[in-house]
Amino acid sequence: MPDLLYLDHNATTPILPEVRDAMLPWLENEFGNPSSVYSLGRRASAALTAAREQVAALVGAQPSEIIFNSCGTEATNTAILSALAIDPDKRHIITSTVEHSATIKLCEHLATRGYGITWLPVDKDGLLDPAKLEAAITSETAVVSLLWANNETGVIFPVEEIAAITARKKVPLHLDAVQAAGKVPINLAELGAQYVSLSAHKLCAPKGVGALYVNRRARYTPLLRGSQEESKRGGTQNVASIVAFGKASELALKSLPTHPESIRALRDRFEQTLINTVEGVRRNGADEPRLPNTSNLTFTAIEAETALLLFDKEGLCCSAGSACSSGSINPSHVLTAMGVTRDEARASLRFSLGRTTTEADIDRALEIIPRIVGKLRAAQPAGGSPVHIKS
Ligand code: PLP
């Protein structure tokens, strides 16, 4: 087996050794229920308090504004459904065409229940025009739900302008910051959004734990009822994973002054080398504002799904701008919303760097990718469409 070359940190991240060490006691002797009154339980409760402070610090929030839950998807569902439950007469939601499936699937479901959904478009660079948001808000609008940063292209939405508009129009704002947290500075105390989704597994902590930020002045109604999390989210907390989330947040905050710039330098070298040395390569999404770790590239006349299989044989992990479902390959909704053709979207790959990516990883990727792309193109019938290579 070749060494792993992991360039898919927007999908999930490896758990850092410090994070694993922090969580281990809570999987072993410290197994108390944080709601129990004896000291074993009180220690677990104190661990949650510490983690809440660490996560809050990462995003410039008060600890009391952080509600732990099971994942970013739960946070997003909770935020949108909370806003709808608070104002049941308002039945209009504004979101965008390039959201994560957590938002899209919920909004599609709500549309079948009679809610009106406005899907804001993006331009060819994946950028959102705040004036279009402003124009879409009506007296019926219950909530605006938008990405902070796009998981496929890394493009960052103008969240300050968005928050200023929703504040002026007095409409609750939910932002999905699952990809942004830890990669760019976030100061929720200044921003004024009502709800913000977070997820631990994009931050070098385990999967299956997340948080919803609820501004202390925002109205809120829980999705899961129960007494935990001050009755804001029922269910015994996943203490070990929450401790890991806290530690990962602390490490991410500490690295924010330097890490984004070093990862940006690696990403830019990777991207520019491919664009300048391999024919028919172009970037999808704006150069800026963009997450420093993400590069989404179209390689003309290849089939990305096939490239993934060949990369895998070399240990390289990344993502395709398409998804296989029921035997057919569906082009990415994010890329097609930006005007990328279906064929180009099927020829697109997302590379996302992370805390563990090194210069040597980039050198290796820059050797593997042009070689495999050349092989795929050579296997193509002249003038024909890309062919599947048996892997
Ligand atoms: N939002 C964005 C932008 C994401 O990239 C993801 C995960 O891929 C999610 C939400 C969902 O997070 P989770 O996997 O914790 O449910």
Ligand 1 centroid–CA 314 distance in Å is 27
* pTM, entire model: 0.96
Q: Please give the structure tokens belonging to residue 151.
A: 């998981």
Count of other CB atoms within 10 angstroms of residue 3: 11
Q: Which residues pair with 388 in a beta bridge?
A: none
Question: Could you identify the residue written with the tokens 């074993």?
Answer: 40
* Position 8, amino acid: D
What's the CA-to-centroid distance between 379 and ligand 1, angstroms? 36
Choose one of 100, 101, 106 to mutate for the ligand 1 pocket test, by most ligand atoms within 8 angstroms of C-beta.
100
Place of tokens 């919920």: 106
Task: Please tell me the predicted confidence (pLDDT) of residue 380.
Answer: 78
Specify the pLDDT at position 330: 85
For the chain, give the number of residues.
391
Instruction: Say if strands 348-352 and 328-331 run parallel, antiparallel, or are unpaired.
Output: unpaired
Q: What is the DSSP letter of 64?
A: G
Asked whether the beta carbons of 202 and 179 are under 8 A apart, the reply is: yes
State yes or no: is 71 an active-site residue: no
Query: 26 φ, ψ to 5°?
Result: -80, -5
| pLDDT at residue 125 in the model | 98
Question: What ranges in 222-285 are assigned the alpha helix state H?
Answer: 228-231, 239-255, 259-277
Question: Mean pLDDT across the chain, nearest whole number?
Answer: 95
The two structure tokens encoding residue 262 = 């070093």
Atom 8 of ligand 1, residue of closest alpha carbon: 11
Closest CA to 85 of 218, 209, 217: 218
| Closest ligand 1 atom, residue 149 Cα | 3
* Closest atom of ligand 1 to CA, residue 201: 15
User: Which pLDDT tens digit goes with each residue over 105-123?
Assistant: 999 999 999 999 999 999 9
Q: What is the pLDDT of residue 177?
A: 98
Dist. CA 46 → ligand 1 center (Å): 28
* Nearest of 155, 187, 186, 159 to residue 174 by alpha carbon: 159
- Whole-number pLDDT of residue 387: 45
**Ligand 1 atom closest to Cα of residue 210:** 15
315-339 per-position pLDDT tens digit: 999 999 666 555 567 899 999 999 9
CB 145, CB 174: distance < 8 Å: yes
Residues contacting residue 165 through CB under 8 Å, at least 6 positions apart: 130, 133, 134, 137
Atom 12 (ligand 1): residue with closest C-alpha? 72
With the most atoms of ligand 1 within 8 angstroms of its CB, the residue from 98, 105, 151, 155 to mutate is 151
The tokens describing 18, both together, are: 């410090």
H or E, element range at 310:
helix 304-313
Q: Which of 78, 48, 123, 345 is nearest to 221 (CA)?
A: 78
By the 8 A CB rule, do 296 and 306 touch?
no
**Neighbour-count burial for 196-215, b at 16+ CB within 10 Å, e otherwise:** bbbbbbbbbbbeebbbbbbb
Active-site annotation holder among 71, 107, 317, 324: 324
Q: In the structure, which protein residues have their CB atom closer than 6 angstroms to any atom of ligand 1?
A: 71-73, 100, 102, 147, 151, 176, 178-179, 199, 201, 210
Residues whose CB falls within 8 Å of the CB of residue 325, separated by 6 or more in sequence, listed in order: none
Q: Which residues of the chain have pLDDT under 70?
A: 321-328, 381-391
Largest CA distance in the chain: 74
Tell me the per-residue pLDDT of 366-386, one tens digit each, with 9 for 90 and over: 999 999 999 999 987 655 555
